[in-house]
């Protein structure tokens, strides 16, 4: 099968019989739901861009398994060039959607499992790498969107998985059969899961031998029996039900998150990638986290490009674009955004070949990249809100603007530069609101803090990778200390 078009992707999701709950009710299909459709459009854009000749080099690549062209989101990195192009592709997708396009987690799961299963098989004589290669080949052939599920609810953070009051607070194996395993638990904050064909599940932390039932990784279809999703709330999400577009801010694209429940889900043997090998759970977590922290040097930068452009337009429409302090704020936003990008490129360029043959990023620089992402988007957001002004959060609704009696007053008193229609000014202010406070904030501001691990998780890795002892030796050599 050739790569899907965007329309073919949409229809493939429509055919799945997923169990999705939103506002306490089961919805028939995410394709037709006005709250979820913008998030589907963001994924659809990754298929549409792959079909455009000008983006072919970034969006597509030849599979090392089949020799056929595949979407880069289904690709295994085999060079530092692949790693760099990944980041550039993510920036492009962020620029085109101004939201989370939801396929990065699956791509990062592919690459972390590729090397981890190889090394696990070498030590334990397991067949996980073969299982994974067959799954990957199918994902490439069918051009699937695959979600990645790592984060467990965790319960009491002071207790290990097996010591929790409720053992299901970490997903675990509850039955081992000749033909497979049965798992129970949940995965939280699942970005784009209702827009995916399959989900790869991974452990959320390094496991000790007594928690071997929690050291499990596998893939299942999203319409598997006993698997269902509860969609999370987002600020301003019900605006999408109002029928207009102005108050939404981002008229076409968006993101979504869900709590995904595995209530005794069966996994066949050929879909299992880790099953009790606790000594490889930490490797899988560390490599996935590294790849995903690299990702933020691309996707968040692309969305940042849109936010910088929106802030600059707001200054234009307010008549403040010539003010020196406004110019300086735009410069600072650009400086911070490009610093994030440079970290993403740096950890890619410093990548190295693993024993399995694929390339891993420089883990120290990837964690530095994500540590910066936990800070800089907040300052970019603050500056955008500063430039936009208070009207960003106090403007009347689109219905007021359209009202025959109220509309003329809204138009008269909320106009900025006389040559710019009031509606145009309000559109850009609503876009800034969407990116900084509304539904897209999930994919930009707040996710910048917690996505791919909390700030402390990166600081732990920076401490581990920082090689302070080597730096002490350098200082001793310079100071002539024996």
Active site residue 447: yes
Cβ-Cβ contacts under 8 Å for 454 (sequence gap 6 or more): 374
Active site residue 93: no
DSSP annotation string for 322-386: T-HHHHHHHHHHHHHHHHHHHHHHHHHHT-EE-TTS-EE--HHHHHHHHHHHTTHHHHHHHHHHH
Active site residue 191: yes
**Catalytic one among 74, 93, 104, 369?**
104
H or E element, residue 295: helix 281-318
**Catalytic one among 60, 116, 126, 191?**
191
Active site residue 296: yes
**Catalytic one among 97, 291, 292, 444?**
292
Q: Is the distance from CB of 281 to CB of 289 less than 8 angstroms?
A: no
Provide the pairing of β-strand 20-22 with 146-149. Answer: unpaired
Active site residue 347: no
Active site residue 359: no
Active site residue 257: yes
Q: Is the distance from CB of 102 to CB of 192 less than 8 angstroms?
A: yes
**Catalytic one among 74, 120, 299, 369?**
299
Ordered alpha helix ranges (H), 98-230 = 104-124, 128-142
| Distance, CA of 216 to CA of 112 (rounded, Å) | 14
**Catalytic one among 100, 120, 347, 369?**
100
Cβ-Cβ contacts under 8 Å for 135 (sequence gap 6 or more): 219, 270, 271, 273
What are the distances in angstroms from CA 6 to CA 48, 144, 150, 384, 406?
A: 5, 12, 27, 32, 41
**Catalytic one among 198, 257, 277, 286?**
257
Ordered alpha helix ranges (H), 20-102 = 37-50, 56-59, 80-97
**Catalytic one among 9, 47, 128, 296?**
296
Q: What are the residue numbers of the active site? A: 100, 104, 191, 257, 292, 296, 299, 447
């Amino acid at each position: 099968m050739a790569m899907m078009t965007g329309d073919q992707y949409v229809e493939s999701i429509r055919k799945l019989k997923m169990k999705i709950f939103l506002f306490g009710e089961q919805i028939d299909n995410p394709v037709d739901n006005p709250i979820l459709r913008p998030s589907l459009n963001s994924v659809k854009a990754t298929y549409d861009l792959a079909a455009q000749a000008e983006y072919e080099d970034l969006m597509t690549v030849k599979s090392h398994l089949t020799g056929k062209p595949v979407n880069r989101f289904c690709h295994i990195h085999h060079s530092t060039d692949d790693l760099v192009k990944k980041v550039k592709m993510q920036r492009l997708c962020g620029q085109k959607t101004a939201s989370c396009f939801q396929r990065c987690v699956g791509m990062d799961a592919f690459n972390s499992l590729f090397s981890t299963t190889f090394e696990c098989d070498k030590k334990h004589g397991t067949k996980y790498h073969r299982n994974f290669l067959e799954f990957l080949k199918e994902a490439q052939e069918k051009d699937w969107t695959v979600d990645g599920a790592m984060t467990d609810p965790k319960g009491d953070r002071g207790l290990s998985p097996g010591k929790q009051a409720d053992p299901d607070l970490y997903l675990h194996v509850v039955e081992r059969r000749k033909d497979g395993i049965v798992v129970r638990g949940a995965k939280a904050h699942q970005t784009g899961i209702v827009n995916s064909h399959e989900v790869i599940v991974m452990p959320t932390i390094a496991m000790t031998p007594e928690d071997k039932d929690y050291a499990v990784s596998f893939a299942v279809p999203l319409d598997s029996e006993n698997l269902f999703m509860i969609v999370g709330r987002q600020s301003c999400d019900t605006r999408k039900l109002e029928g207009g577009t102005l108050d939404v801010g981002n008229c076409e694209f968006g993101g979504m998150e869900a709590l995904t429940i595995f209530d005794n889900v069966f996994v066949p043997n050929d879909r299992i990638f880790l099953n009790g090998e606790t000594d490889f759970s930490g490797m899988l977590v560390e490599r996935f986290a590294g790849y995903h922290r690299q990702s933020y040097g691309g996707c968040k930068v692309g969305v940042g490009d849109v936010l910088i452009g929106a802030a600059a337009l707001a200054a234009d429409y307010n008549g403040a674009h010539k003010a020196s302090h406004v110019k300086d704020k735009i410069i600072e936003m650009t400086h911070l955004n490009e610093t994030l990008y440079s970290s993403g490129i740096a950890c890619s360029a410093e990548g190295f070949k693993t024993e399995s043959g694929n390339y891993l990023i420089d883990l120290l620089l990837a964690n530095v990249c994500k540590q910066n992402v936990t800070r800089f988007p907040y300052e970019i957001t603050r500056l955008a809100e500063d430039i936009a002004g208070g009207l960003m959060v106090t403007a009347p609704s689109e219905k007021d603007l359209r009202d025959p009696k109220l509309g003329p007053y809204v138009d008269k008193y909320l106009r900025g530069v006389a040559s710019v229609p009031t509606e145009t000014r309000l559109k850009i202010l609503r876009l800034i609101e969407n990116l900084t406070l509304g539904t897209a904030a999930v994919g930009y501001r707040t996710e910048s803090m917690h996505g791919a691990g909390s700030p402390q998780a990166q600081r732990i890795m920076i401490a581990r990778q920082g090689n302070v002892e080597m730096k002490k030796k350098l200082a001793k050599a310079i100071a002539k200390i024996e």
